[in-house]
Amino acid sequence: MRVRPTALAALLLCVLALAAAPTGAQEVGSGGGRAQPPAGESPPALHIPAEAARPAATFDPEVATRAYLDTLSPEKRARSDAYFEGGYWLQLWGFLYGLGVAWLLLGTGLSARMRDLAERISRRRPLQTGLYAIGYILLTTVLSFPLTVYQGYFREHRYDLATQGFGGWMRDQAVGLVVGLILGTALLVALYAVIRRAPRTWWIWGSAVGLVFLTVVILIAPVYLDPLFNTYKPLEDARVRDPILSMARANGVPAKEVYEFDASRQSTRVSANVSGFAGTMRVRLNDNLLNRCSLPEIKAVMGHELGHYVLHHIYEMLVEFGLVLVGALAFLRWAFERARSRWGERWGIRGIGDVAGLPLVVALVSVYFFVLTPVTNTIIRSNEQEADIFGLNAAREPDGFATVSLKLAEYRKLEPGRLEEWVFYDHPSGRARIEMAMHWKAEHLNDPDIAAEDRAAVAPSQPIQPVQPTQPAPSDGSSPPGP
Ligand SMILES: [Zn+2]
């Protein structure tokens, strides 16, 4: 899920960053929905550059990597670089915009007046907090809307990444707002109750509340939240389903079904995920992946996703983000008092337990997360690297992994600088992934399955695209709040 920085308590950013990480795991930009070939027709074949299909004696992983990278045209590369680099600036503008909204609510006294109104309506503290929270979420959503609509709608269309009409997009925003109102209000009521009961140690108990909340959201999302935006159904095509289930069984993943969902309603990006845990665990892939990719590519992606499950990344990230959250609230405790002693009177804030201080809380927590961007990205990215390696070993499709990484480069800059990748990337870059795949391949060139695929690639190969005519993607419908 993605949420506007000012729309919910910035604590939710942490919640959603984690919720997004395992689920938005493997997105690849693509150019429109194509139909899966019907039973009887062969699925699209893999195209391997000659340099990447050499026998062991002449295979060089660096040369093979370069051969793959060079298959992306300069125009496409410039376009995806522009899209991705623009995203860096959007992170900065979004952060500053959020601070501006907080300043507006505090500086005009609007926040204090909203609290006064809530206190006049009810004498019960939780209800006062809830009323304020609803007003806050609605108001910040409206104030942030210009940035939201530019970033989420117009810009996505400009780069041909969106398939959705404005009506459908607005419907998704409305559904997201309702979900945000329910979850955000519940979280804020619980947090402020903790702050008032434990005036000195609230930052520790508050972190625990945040963590429990995060766990619940991850648990319910696959079953109760995601279907609000897309239709999920069991994948029926046995040619795709059976190899995935076989790979799942071989790696101890207790999946009986693979689900497909209609992401082409919203976007052209390829994606798959293993989400939820315990009883809500689901192996899911989207229709863009199904329609645009060959079986080796699909297996490469699903091997990666199974890796997240087998390596317990959800639990690992709960611990890691739990620590980040403790840091956030410790920083908040320190910074809030300083800001309040300086401006509190002017802004009408009585203390940390006063809900009128929420815009300040959100602003300070967003400063913390903005500064920590490279750290949170690196936490997620290192898990993604682990899942990449796992996927290569499980699927044994280094070339499928390389070509699918190239499709991802349609919207993620293919070759960033080292520092750039460390700061901004929550997944390894395309170059890093292809390099990893080619080094894996170099160690397995004499294995019968790898050698056979290379022989097939050297023979005159089928085109990547399936033969079926294009099915236009529906331009209406819903979009997930984004991976
Ligand atoms: Zn992943």
Q: How many CB atoms lie under 10 A from the CB of residue 445?
A: 16
Query: What is d(CA 276, CA 274) in angstroms, rounded to the nearest whole number?
Result: 7
Ligand 1 centroid vs 30 CA: distance in angstroms? Answer: 18
Q: What is the CA radius of gyration of the chain?
A: 24
Contact 17, 321 (CB under 8 A): yes
Which amino acid appears at position 303 of this protein?
G
Choose among 387, 405, 389: nearest CA to 441. 389
Ligand 1 centroid vs 287 CA: distance in angstroms? Answer: 18
Ligand 1 centroid vs 116 CA: distance in angstroms? Answer: 46
Ligand 1 centroid vs 305 CA: distance in angstroms? Answer: 6
Ligand 1 centroid vs 425 CA: distance in angstroms? Answer: 12
Query: What is d(CA 152, CA 35) in angstroms, rounded to the nearest whole number?
Result: 26
Paired tokens of 86: 């623009």
**What pLDDT does residue 44 have?**
66
Ligand 1 centroid vs 408 CA: distance in angstroms? Answer: 12
Ligand 1 centroid vs 283 CA: distance in angstroms? Answer: 13
Q: Which residues have C-beta within 8 Å of that of residue 68, sequence separation ≥ 6? A: 49, 52, 402, 403, 406, 434, 438
Ligand 1 centroid vs 58 CA: distance in angstroms? Answer: 32
Ligand 1 centroid vs 428 CA: distance in angstroms? Answer: 10
Structure confidence by residue, pLDDT tens digits, 225-265: 999 999 999 999 999 999 999 999 999 998 888 999 999 99
Ligand 1 centroid vs 78 CA: distance in angstroms? Answer: 25
Ligand 1 centroid vs 308 CA: distance in angstroms? Answer: 7
**What pLDDT does residue 468 have?**
41
What is this structure's pTM?
0.83
**What pLDDT does residue 214 have?**
92
Ligand 1 centroid vs 81 CA: distance in angstroms? Answer: 21
Ligand 1 centroid vs 412 CA: distance in angstroms? Answer: 14
Ligand 1 centroid vs 274 CA: distance in angstroms? Answer: 9
Ligand 1 centroid vs 3 CA: distance in angstroms? Answer: 20
**What pLDDT does residue 254 have?**
87
Ligand 1 centroid vs 75 CA: distance in angstroms? Answer: 27
Query: What is d(CA 355, CA 361) in angstroms, rounded to the nearest whole number?
Result: 9
- The low-confidence residues of the chain, meaning pLDDT below 70, are 1-44, 458-483
Ligand 1 centroid vs 352 CA: distance in angstroms? Answer: 38
